[in-house]
């Protein structure tokens, strides 16, 4: 079960179009919370308190929380308090993508994974998107190496067309179409 929150009404449609549940205080202020350029407006202290209360009841049920809120030219807004973190189940993970701008999660530290007293982890890795690319590339490279290992025996090409993986990957062999899904 995936849920998301944002103060922008357009985000509600985006979240729901992906099959997730949208969680927000949807009052009159919410309806006008977006600039013409699509950025979130500064919300009133009253709205922020209502949203924090809603978040507090919702967050206790979550296993993973990812925060991304940034305000250009200002510190990141604090969305998740220490009390919110303390209410989460042991093993829960909070990923603070705004850690470099001060963080959305109280207790997050740039470049660190912080273990909390209740067994939750707050991930504050800097440049997480850059880390993902390196890890994804390494995993892809391992997959390619394993695949090539199926093609080569004793430094020579040796196709075992009975191998389940090769059988699914080879389309033609010896001038004939051999893949069942392509044969006509």
Query: What are the structural domains, with CATH classification, of the chain?
Result: 1-59 (no CATH), 63-126 (3.40.50.720), 129-177 (no CATH)
Total-model pTM: 0.67
Whether 35 contacts 64, CB under 8 Å:
no
Could you read off the pLDDT of 144-154 as tens digits, one per residue? Answer: 999 999 999 89
Could you read off the pLDDT of 77-115 as tens digits, one per residue? Answer: 898 999 999 999 999 999 999 999 999 999 999 999 999
Which whole number is the average pLDDT over 137-145?
A: 92
Whether 91 contacts 63, CB under 8 Å:
yes
Whether 48 contacts 41, CB under 8 Å:
no
What is the distance between the alpha carbons of residues 28 and 41, in angstroms, rounded to a whole number?
Answer: 13
33, 37, 67, 164 from 85: Cα distances, Å: 27, 33, 13, 46
């Amino acid at each position: 079960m995936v849920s998301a929150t944002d103060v922008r009404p357009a985000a509600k449609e985006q979240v729901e179009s992906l099959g997730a549940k949208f969680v927000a205080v949807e009052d009159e202020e919410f309806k006008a919370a977006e600039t013409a350029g699509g950025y979130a407006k500064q919300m009133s202290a009253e709205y922020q308190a209502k949203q924090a209360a809603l978040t507090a009841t919702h967050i206790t049920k979550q296993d993973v929380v990812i925060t991304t809120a940034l305000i250009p030219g200002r510190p990141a807004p604090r969305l998740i308090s220490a009390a919110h973190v303390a209410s989460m189940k042991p093993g829960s993970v909070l990923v603070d993508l705004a850690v470099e701008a001060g963080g959305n999660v109280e207790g997050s530290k740039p470049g660190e994974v912080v273990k909390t007293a209740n067994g939750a982890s707050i991930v504050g890795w800097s440049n997480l998107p850059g880390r993902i690319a390196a890890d994804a590339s390494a995993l892809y490279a391992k997959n390619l190496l394993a695949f090539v290992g199926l093609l080569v025996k004793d430094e020579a090409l040796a196709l075992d067309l009975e191998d389940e993986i090769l059988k699914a990957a080879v389309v033609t062999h010896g001038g004939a179409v051999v893949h069942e899904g392509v044969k006509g």
